Every structure is written in structure tokens, then in C-alpha cells.
Chain A
Amino acid sequence: DVKVTQSSRYLVKRTGEKVFLECVQDMDHENMFWYRQDPGLGLRLIYFSYDVKMKEKGDIPEGYSVSREKKERFSLILESASTNQTSMYLCASSERPQHFGDGTRLSIL
């Protein structure tokens, strides 16, 4: 069974902080994705990566960056957190079907 693990289920940070969200998958998948999910807006793609050190912007990349130094790990970085980045963040790997991590509920105060 595919396992996608996100480092934190709940996280509270302050405005202006640099925030790291980590995601690890154990199935040697090439593709990994970061989404955020907000009520009424559904899942929106922030960034994805199709190989080590390769990344592409999704629909809402502003305010975020990513890092993929190893195949199994895909990190989402909020360079300077803002309150409008309070959301549920979901990591996924592969394409069809996508396997999701448990999600990180991030609150920016």
C-alpha cells in the first residue's frame, strides 16, 4: 500500500515566519504534488514535481516555493507566512490514482 506521510497534522505559525511542510512517499513515485484545500474552492494545485530537482508551478504558486532534493521527499515552503495562507495543505504522489497524505491544517496568526 502506498504511504504518503506529511510531517504535521496541525501547525500554528505567526505572520512573517518561514514555514516548511514536509512530505515523504515510499513508492518511488516520480510525480509529487502540493495542494491547498479551502471551503468552497476545492483542491487547488500549488506546485508539483516530476523528478528530483524538477518542479512546475500549479494554479496558485504565489507566496510558495518547493524543494525536491530526493525522490521520496517534496517540501513546500512559505517564504513569509501570511494569514491568507491559513488552509489545509495536502501532499500527493503519482498521477492516477493520486495518493494523498493525511493533510496539514496550518493556521497563520
Chain B
Amino acid sequence: RKEVEQDPGPFNVPEGATVAFNCTYSNSASQSFFWYRQDCRKEPKLLMSVYSSGNEDGRFTAQLNRASQYISLLIRDSKLSDSATYLCVVIITGRRALTFGSGTRLQVQP
């Protein structure tokens, strides 16, 4: 079983829609959480960290549910430029490297 699991999608949504992705993690020693964005044939880039109390950055909201071991990303008012793959990333206590999910692909359509 993968330590970080995501629905690969694709999620096809119209412009202006609200879309949400979930990511589940299995290692209870997971301590820090992030969402990265990766455009086609480009490198991953940090989108936002995920804090226990939940956090918002413009149209993006990230939430953490430790009891159920998942994090979520909500995108409001989707733009064409939001089309990308969204990677769920976890830092597990005792490991230096990050653990990545396989990503969820979002396609926003006009």
C-alpha cells in the first residue's frame, strides 16, 4: 500500500467551478503536509503548506484531518490556468526526504 494516496483523476471541471481533492496518508508519524502543483513537463512547485487549523490562500483552501488521516485542497472559481497535476506531499518523522503522492490531474475547461 502506498503511504500517500491520491485519486489520479482527471477531474474535468468548467471554469468558475469549485473542485476539491483529497489525499490520504497511512503513516501515523506524518507530521507536515503540503500541496505542490506540477504543470505538464515542468517541475513540481510548492502551492501551499497545510496547517492543522486549515489555511487559505486566495481561491485555495487546504485542510488537514489527523483523525481520519487525510488532507484536502479546495479550489474555488476555477481558472483555465489552474489546469495542472496537484501533488500531495508528506514529511514523515525521522525521514529527511518528502513522500509524494502520485498526483491528481485537474483540467479546467472553457
A96 touches B43 (CB 8 A): no
Number of interface residues of A (CB under 8 A): 22
Output the nearest chain B residue to A44 by Cβ-Cβ distance.
B100
Q: In this assembly, does B32 line the interface, its C-beta being within 8 Å of a C-beta of chain A? A: yes
Given known pairs A31-B96, A43-B87, A96-B32, the reply for A90 and B46 (CB within 8 Å) is no
Total number of residue pairs linking A and B with CB closer than 8 Å: 48
Bound CA–CA A98/B87 (angstroms) = 13
Q: B44 contacts which chain A residues (CB < 8 A)? A: 43, 90, 98, 100
Bound CA–CA A27/B85 (angstroms) = 27
Q: In this assembly, does B21 line the interface, its C-beta being within 8 Å of a C-beta of chain A? A: no
Output the nearest chain A residue to B2 by Cβ-Cβ distance.
A42
Q: In this assembly, does B98 line the interface, its C-beta being within 8 Å of a C-beta of chain A? A: yes
Residue from A31, A50, A96 within 8 A of B34 (CB atoms): A96
